[in-house]
Amino acid sequence: MTTRKLRHLILPITLTLLIFLSVGLSMYIWTNPSRYERENKVSTASSNSTLATRTIDDIYLPTQLVHTDSAGKQTLLINKNVSLVSQFKEQISRWQATSIVKVRVTSAKSYEALLNGQDSYVLNFPDSVTVAMFNTIFNQNLKNYRSSEFSRIVVPVNDVDHLYLLNDSKHQIYSVRLKKKSLKLMRKVLQANKVTAIAVKMTYEANETYLDYTQPVTMQHYSYLMNEQSASELANRLLDADGNSSVSVRTHNGEQIYTTGAFKRMTVNNKLGTVYFEDYSDSGDTRQISFTTQLQKSYSHLVSLGVPMDNIRYYGYDTTSSSVIYRSYVEGFPIFNQTENGDVRIQMTSNGLDRYYFSLDSLQVPVPTTGKQTAVTLPSSTSVLKQLIAAGYKDNKIGSIELGYQWSQNKSSKLVIDLTPTYYVNYNGSWRTYTSMLSGS
């Protein structure tokens, strides 16, 4: 009888002990929030370090792959499941670039002839990079013209010995001699059923190449969970890297201003979710920074921000402010409106001043789109240009027209970001959607 009673008592006694243990642990966490937050900070820091694992060659990859067939028809090639540009990178990295020479170009027409040459592939960068960066991206070791700039790679199908680097601004061409060049594996990738071909036309005009979408384009609408960095953790990372500095914070005109000493300051705009960081530590020291060095060092600064880098790519260089610009991409198309300029800016001046401008918010994981159409059909960019001119916009103030995504907060959830496909027009130096321009908003 005694044994049976003990057996019946074991279960309720065990459950009671577990309940008391659970309540005790909960009270400990509630009464010791500082310890709980410290543990969270450790895990966040480690997760940020894993997010920033994309290498410099991934960040500086081209963003577009254009194919010109034997009849001169051009298409932008996309695969939603696999990055075709990354596949091309793997191919070029297996080739051996043995030498590079500058080609004598007599006119803009001869430059455009190579750009639009039949039976070729063109890898487009959003802006210029250098031959030294070509070595980094494609695992090559070209020794000459390392500081020379280019923004396009032309890969002729029927030329087994060369590829060409093209510089739009001066219509310069560099011929790279190759060994082991083969497109067999790439052809297999491009013959897959999931490759989408969008009709385009590359036009070279006034030392710039414009990619025109010659027919209406259908693109997917996406939604993503939003990831928001903690401003206090970011301040510790940027202002107190060695763990020995004292970081102070004050509020001014709705902004939080973090400082350490007189040399570093971080301003957070809580309304916009943006960060402006300034480092005066080396201010006043004259430094000569080559374009290649700026591209390389800005990548290191980008990593130090702890920004999730899954979608980040190099977007361009602003010569006026000496700023390297990065932007988030989806399927090779840029995302706008994440900040006022929709980008991350890393500025390194010749007098030793460093500035960063970026958003606390980033894309995390895609979520199913509900309550909205999943596909949007846009007119051709040629049609958009005609509509803008008819609406009174000056042709000479209209720059490039880019197909991209507009970042906006989901109306049902603050944790979800909607990405809506649209055209962005660089008008008089500012990016605006074509619909807002036509509606006058």
pLDDT (tens digit per residue) in 211-263: 999 999 999 999 999 888 899 889 988 987 666 678 899 999 889 999 987 78
Answer yes or no: do 172 and 270 share one domain: no
Structure tokens at 226: 């939003």
Q: Which residue has the tokens 């009673």?
A: 5
Answer yes or no: do 255 and 283 share one domain: yes
Confidence category of residue 162, pLDDT binned at 50, 70, 90: very high
Percent of the chain exceeding pLDDT 70 equals 85
**Dihedral (C-alpha) 365, 369, 372, 375: value to the nearest 10 degrees?**
80
Mean pLDDT across the stretch 134-146?
98
**Cα angle for residues 131, 317, 400 (degrees, 5° grid):** 105
Answer yes or no: do 178 and 237 share one domain: no
Mapping DSSP to helix (H, G, I), strand (E, B) and coil, where does residue 382 land?
helix
Answer yes or no: do 257 and 307 share one domain: yes
Mean pLDDT across the stretch 119-138?
97
Q: Is 214 exposed, middle or buried (0-12, 13-18, 19+ CB in 10 A)?
A: middle
Decide: 405 and 413 in contact? Cβ < 8 Å: no
Tell me what pLDDT residue 200 has. 98
For residue 121, the tally of other CB atoms under 10 A from its CB is 20
The Cα–Cα gap between 418 and 257 comes to 30
Mean pLDDT across the stretch 343-371?
87
Answer yes or no: do 198 and 256 share one domain: no
Tell me what pLDDT residue 421 has. 96
Confidence category of residue 15, pLDDT binned at 50, 70, 90: very low
| Residue 27 falls inside a structural domain | no
Instruction: Compute CA distances 165 → 124, 133, 181, 278, whole Å.
Output: 10, 12, 16, 36
pLDDT at 23 over 60: no
pLDDT at 49 over 50: no
| Residue 17 falls inside a structural domain | no
Tell me what pLDDT residue 51 has. 45
CATH of the domain at 255: 3.30.310.160
pLDDT in tens, 295-346: 999 999 999 888 888 889 999 999 988 999 999 999 899 999 867 656 899 9
Could you tell me the pTM of the whole model?
0.85
pLDDT in tens, 69-122: 999 999 999 998 889 999 999 999 999 999 999 999 989 999 999 999 999 999
Tell me what pLDDT residue 85 has. 95
Q: Which of 160, 183, 214 is the last residue of a domain?
A: 214
Answer yes or no: do 398 and 263 share one domain: no
Say which range, 40-44, 129-133, 139-143, has the weakest mean pLDDT. Answer: 40-44
Say which range, 13-27, 126-140, 271-285, 365-379, has the weakest mean pLDDT. Answer: 13-27
| Residue 36 falls inside a structural domain | no
| Residue 296 falls inside a structural domain | yes
The contacts of residue 11 (CB under 8 Å, 6+ apart) are none
Answer yes or no: do 312 and 376 share one domain: no
Answer yes or no: do 69 and 185 share one domain: yes
Alpha helix positions (H), 330-424 = 381-390
Confidence category of residue 371, pLDDT binned at 50, 70, 90: low
Structure tokens at 95: 């080739």
pLDDT at 10 over 70: no
Answer yes or no: do 404 and 320 share one domain: no
Q: What's the mean pLDDT when you consider all of the chain? A: 85
| Residue 264 falls inside a structural domain | yes
Highest mean pLDDT among 25-39, 275-289, 290-304: 290-304
Q: Which of 192, 214, 236 is the last residue of a domain?
A: 214
Tell me what pLDDT residue 429 has. 85
Decide: 262 and 278 in contact? Cβ < 8 Å: no
pLDDT in tens, 418-430: 999 999 999 988 8
Answer yes or no: do 176 and 67 share one domain: yes
Tell me what pLDDT residue 143 has. 97
The contacts of residue 2 (CB under 8 Å, 6+ apart) are none
pLDDT at 35 over 60: no
Tell me what pLDDT residue 31 has. 34
Answer yes or no: do 138 and 190 share one domain: yes
Closest CA to 162 of 182, 181, 177: 177
pLDDT in tens, 384-420: 999 999 999 999 999 999 999 999 988 888 899 999 9
- The amino acid occupying position 263 is F
Q: Which of 159, 184, 214 is the last residue of a domain?
A: 214
List residues bridging with 99 in a β-sheet: 177
Mean pLDDT across the stretch 168-187?
94
**Total of domains in the chain:** 3
Domain that holds residue 293: 225-325+341-362
| Residue 178 falls inside a structural domain | yes
| Residue 286 falls inside a structural domain | yes
What does the radius of gyration of the chain's CA atoms come to, in whole angstroms?
A: 26
| Residue 14 falls inside a structural domain | no
CA diameter of the chain: 107
How do strand 361-367 and strand 172-179 relate by DSSP bridges?
Answer: unpaired
Percent of the chain exceeding pLDDT 90 equals 63
Mapping DSSP to helix (H, G, I), strand (E, B) and coil, where does residue 199 land?
strand
Answer yes or no: do 61 and 121 share one domain: yes
